[in-house]
Every structure is written in C-alpha cells, then in structure tokens.
Amino acid sequence: MPGFEIFGEEEKKEILEVLDTGVLFRYEFPEQRKGVYKVRTFEEKFAAYCGVKCGQAVTSGTAALKVAMAALGIGPGDEVITQGFTFVATWEAILEIGAIPVFAEVDETLNLDPADLEKKITAETKLIIPVHMMGAPARIEEIKAIGDKHGIPVLEDTAQAAGASLNGRRLGSFGACGTFSFDPVKTMTTGEGGMIVTNDEKLMRDMSEYHDHGHDHAVNPGGRGGEGRSFIGSNYRMMELQGAIGLAQLAKLDGIVASQQQNKKAMKALVARIPGVTFRTILDEKGDNASFLAFFLPDKDKAQKVKTALAAGGAGAICFAENTWHYYPKWEHLLAGATLAKSGWPFVEPGGKKRVVYDAQALPKSAAIMDRLLVYPVPIKLSQERLGQIAAAVEKAVAALS
C-alpha cells in the first residue's frame, strides 16, 4: 500500500542531486542550484500525469485542502458538504478555513452518496468535497453534475487515490481542483507533502501566491516575482527534498498500482470463500488503485464474528465502524465541539452563539453500511507466506459462521 515499500536507488539519486546543490528551498538561489528545481519539476510532471495543466505542491494533504479552499474563496459563513467516512483532515481543513462542514451519507462505493448530497444543499452551500476513499472513485460524474446544476464548485479530496481513474480520466481532474496527500502511508509518499491539480490558471496563480505568504508570483521561473502582494497568505511550501522523492515515487506509481491490483485480486479470491460476503462497489475496476480490499458481511453480528476469527488467525482486518480517525460517530472531539480557543471558535461565534452542533446518529445509512464493513490494506509486496496466513485466517472465519 505505501510507496516506502519500494524506496530504492531512484529516491537516493534524486535526493543527492538536491544535497549537491546545497539548496533545500524551492525558490531562488539560481546560481547555487545549477538548474535543479525538484519541486517545480514534480509539480509539472504530476499535473501531466493527472492530465491537467497545473500542479501546486504543498506541505501536506491537509494544507492542499486549505490552500485550495482559500483560493476558491471559501470562508466564515460558508457550508461545505463532505462525507462522514473520510480522514479527519477533510473536515479539520474546512473548520480551519472558517467554514462549516456538513456531513452526507456514503453508499456502497464507500464514497459520497449523490442522492444525500443533493438533500444537504442549502443557500449557504459554497463547496462540495467528495473523497475518493481507499483508492477507488466516488460517483464523481454525478456529483459534478449536481454541483454544476446548483452552481457549486467541486473539490476532489484524492488523498488516498493517487494513480486511480474513472473511465480513463484521472481522479482529481474532474472538479475545479483535486488534492493529494503524500504522507508516510500513501500510495506514493514523500514522507510529508501534498499536491493540488487544476486546469484553472487563475485559481492556480492564487494558490501559488497564497501558499507562499501572498508573494507576487509573476512569470519568473524558479523565482517569486515582485514584492507586491494582492492578498494575505501563509506558508505551505514544499521543500526540495520532498520534491525529489516525489519525482522518484511518481515514476513508480503505475507499477505500484499494477502490483496492488494483482495482490488485491489474490486476496479477494481468498475472502470470497467467506459465506455471505459481498464486496465494495467499484465503479471502474481498471481505475481502482487497489490500495484496499473492502468487503461486507450480511449483518453487524456476522461482521464481528469474522473480524474476531481473522484476528485470531493472525490476519486481522480493519473495522472502520470502530475507527476513530475516519468515521463520523467516532470523532468525539468534533461531536463535543472541543477546541483550544477560549472563545470556543470554530464551534462558537464571537459572543457565544453556537455555530454548529453535530449528532452522532445523523448518518443512519452510513452506519448500516459501516457496521457490516471489513477492510484489508493491500501491500505492494505480498509474500506467499502472508497470503497463506490470510488463507488460514479466512478458514477460521468460515468455521466461525458455520
């Protein structure tokens, strides 16, 4: 699953080229760097890989969401619809930009349910963020059509789906922009880091300047342009070492996906032996980056029995209904409105009025799906020994249901 499984000489070569220049900053120092611009090159190559015009590298997938939302003009008073099954970063970024996350159901794609999305749209809805969870596409064409109908832009959170596509088109390229994460356990990794891709050159210019303290990024390759600033910004710059690793990992991405698809197929064949098992809806099997194998049991009780048996066999599966990082009812800090701000922001407005209250029972359709769900991460390298261990654990699960 994570790109660190195949770190090798390619990453070392790219890193040494940076160290030889002595320049770790992505801008300036043209004489010392001798034409080596790893982050800029990474942006260009990643955008081309996604089939779009522009790429903006940043410090993390979370930063990518914040920078993209800032450039889209999202702020206090705005509502942003996303899904109740995602990593906490999605809604953290919404709250940090000052907007209010509105959570919608998922369907058996384990991604945003278009029908519930449309029900959640109000006059205050200013953005839709579908998340391509666990490497497989959301119903992005339907979601984009809904957004277009209501005049609401779509930002694709593609943090977990680098290398994935739908009907031959890369995920992240359907909406106004798409964001990616390259953290330590992502399909391709730079340790920390993220990327935003878009075809909108004005949006790109705003993101570029916002992520670098609002510096004027006039046309000046490798530099920062003039010193005039159109708006305030912050610091989300990627450093050259991350860009270097990203270039090596990007060159391996198609091979990573191919290996995961092969390994997922082998694992799926074993899991299919479990009585009553069904599998996640994948809209495009060829486009799945295959970083996870998600499967359902007929009910919560059977899912728990299978989970226990698999764990006893040394091949435990993830139960996301119990996961505190990715599932709405388990986000106790969100549900409690917990914050370090003495004012209570972002859950409380200045003056003490509550902005939003979240109910753990608000997504019953998602709960019914998640209660039956078990998931295996799919490695890039899958040994016969590990495959045999999974097979033996599956046999324990079959016995537990008999």
CATH of the domain at 294: 3.90.1150.10
Q: Mean of the pLDDT values across residues 374-382?
A: 97
Tell me which residue has tokens 């708006």.
Answer: 231
Query: Active-site residue numbers?
Result: 186
Same domain for 176 and 288? no
Chain centroid to CA 345: 26
CB atoms within 10 A of CB 184: 12
Same domain for 281 and 202? no
Give burial (CB, 10 Å; 0-12/13-18/19+) of 381.
exposed
Query: Are 19 and 163 a contacting pair, CB within 8 Å?
Result: no
Q: Of 252, 287, 310, which residue sits at a domain end? A: 252
Tell me which residue has tokens 């029908």.
Answer: 115
pLDDT computed for residue 350 by the predictor: 87
Measure the CA–CA gap between 240 and 229, rounded to whole angstroms.
Answer: 24
Q: Of 252, 267, 293, which residue sits at a domain end? A: 252
Domain count along the chain: 2
pLDDT computed for residue 58 by the predictor: 98
Query: Are 144 and 238 a contacting pair, CB within 8 Å?
Result: no
pLDDT computed for residue 250 by the predictor: 98
Chain centroid to CA 253: 16
CB atoms within 10 A of CB 354: 10
Whether the pLDDT of residue 4 is over 60: the answer is: yes
Same domain for 215 and 259? no
Query: Residue 346: is the preceding peptide bond cis (ω within 30°)?
Result: yes
Please give the structure tokens belonging to residue 209: 């300047």
Whether the pLDDT of residue 353 is over 80: the answer is: yes
* Residue 34 is assigned to a structural domain of this protein: yes
Q: Mean of the pLDDT values across residues 20-38?
A: 94
Whether the pLDDT of residue 159 is over 90: the answer is: yes
Please give the structure tokens belonging to residue 299: 């009910």
Q: Of 231, 252, 273, which residue sits at a domain end? A: 252
Q: Name the 3-class secondary structure at 16.
A: helix
pLDDT digits (tens, 9 = 90+) for 213-222: 999 887 665 5
pLDDT computed for residue 20 by the predictor: 97
- What sign for the dihedral angle of Cα 262, 242, 55, 118? positive
pLDDT interval class at 258 (50, 70, 90) = very high
Same domain for 146 and 163? yes
Q: Mean of the pLDDT values across residues 307-315?
A: 97
Question: Closest Cα to residue 155, out of 143, 163, 166?
Answer: 143
Domain that holds residue 96: 3-252
pLDDT computed for residue 216 by the predictor: 87
Q: Mean of the pLDDT values across residues 354-362?
A: 96
pLDDT digits (tens, 9 = 90+) for 129-141: 999 999 999 999 9
Same domain for 299 and 236? no
Same domain for 145 and 264? no
Q: Mean of the pLDDT values across residues 174-201?
A: 97
**C-alpha dist (Å) from residue 10 to 17, 37, 248:** 11, 17, 6
pLDDT interval class at 53 (50, 70, 90) = very high
